[in-house]
A = this chain, B = another copy of it.
Amino acid sequence: MDDTRISLAHGNGGRFMRELIESVFVRHLGESTIDVQADAVPIDLDGGEVMITTDGFTVQPLEFPGGDIGSLAIHGTTNDLAVAGARPLYLTLNAFIEEGFEVEQLDRIVASLAQTARDVGVTVSAGDTKVVRNGEGGGLYLATTGVGVRLPGTQPSLTRISDGDVLIVSGTIGDHGTAVMLAREAFGLRGDVISDAASVIPFTEALLGLDGLRFMRDPTRGGLASVAHEILRATGFGVRLEPTVPVREPVQAVCDMLGYDPYYLACEGRVVAIVAREQADEAVAAWQAIEGGGDAARIGRIDGASQRVILETSLGGERFLEELEDDPLPRIC
């Protein structure tokens, strides 16, 4: 791989993206001021517990079963605040629009974004638009920054994770990645797979009262496997994923057919939480009681004895899940 030029793999949520961020962005901006491991970071304003996060969106196609780039921008940004234990309040919106883009489609997307913001309860308080020449953009890119306040309760953090803690997930994985892939039609396939894009706020707020809550993350780009690798890197503890990880049958079928692995595919409405072993059942039960949480499940555990991400198969075997390298699906979010 030519390491003097940016490749698609620099954007996939895996190893090359991490290395680019560390070698260029963190090096110049300073580890002390930009926390690349956090979904949202506190900013010090008059002693308030204000959190901030930011996200870019380039999903292609711009509209897909279960959402569009507008609803995705709201969910993606507010979910990052939610998993950090904050309630989202305000958003800013940047739109990069390519010359020739249909105004009607722009209108539909902004309407969807606005409706989603109302549903989630956030106010879009500032915005900016830029138009680039035909051929210099991919139709429409959005960038959103979210501001929220930290909620009372346990403050989830990678530093709280201990050996023996349990991983739980709020629903099936890989739906968003598969739905977007199918919507591209490049494969001649059309399934009944719908993106899981949704707010995770009910799920994250349900756990803030648990003193055994360690950490939460929404497994977007790079999927569940990349969340597991992030935990491994931050804590030095291995992660064992059990055969209980919920995957919808049509998602698994599409992945089998096309050679994708659902563990690396993006979700946009799921949470992975790490909780103390003795509170795992309680946490899963709380999630299952929430609308859309019927597939919530215990899916693994922190394994201090290994320094790998290990997938246990239903037949009793094991395989390593490596850190993502090549980009399986560019412009997925």
Residues of chain A whose beta carbon lies under 8 Å from any beta carbon of chain B: 3-8, 10-12, 17, 20-21, 24-25, 28-30, 33-36, 38, 40-41, 43, 45-46, 48, 50, 52-58, 89-90, 92-104, 106-107, 110-111, 113-115, 117, 123-133, 135-138, 141, 143, 145, 147, 149, 327, 330-331
Asked whether B29 lies within 8 Å of A145 as measured between CB atoms, the reply is no
A-B contact list, 5 entries, CB within 8 Å: A5-B102, A10-B129, A29-B124, A54-B93, A55-B128
Known: A6-B100, A34-B126. A147 touches B149 (CB 8 A): no
Asked whether A34 lies within 8 Å of B125 as measured between CB atoms, the reply is yes
Give the distance to chain B from A92, nearest Cβ to Cβ, in Å. Answer: 4
Asked whether A129 lies within 8 Å of B8 as measured between CB atoms, the reply is no
Given contacts A20-B129, A53-B92, 13 further A-B contacts (CB under 8 A): A5-B103, A11-B131, A11-B132, A24-B110, A25-B110, A30-B114, A43-B89, A43-B90, A45-B89, A54-B128, A56-B130, A56-B143, A58-B130
**Across the two chains, which residue of chain B brings its CB closest to A103?**
B4
Give the distance to chain B from A304, nearest Cβ to Cβ, in Å. Answer: 30
Quickly give the copy total for this chain.
2
B-chain residues with CB within 8 Å of residue A99 when the two chains form the complex: 5-8
Task: Please report the C-alpha to C-alpha distance between residue A94 and residue B96 in the assembled complex, in whole angstroms.
Answer: 12
Task: Please report the C-alpha to C-alpha distance between residue A33 and residue B123 in the assembled complex, in whole angstroms.
Answer: 6
Task: Please report the C-alpha to C-alpha distance between residue A30 and residue B92 in the assembled complex, in whole angstroms.
Answer: 14
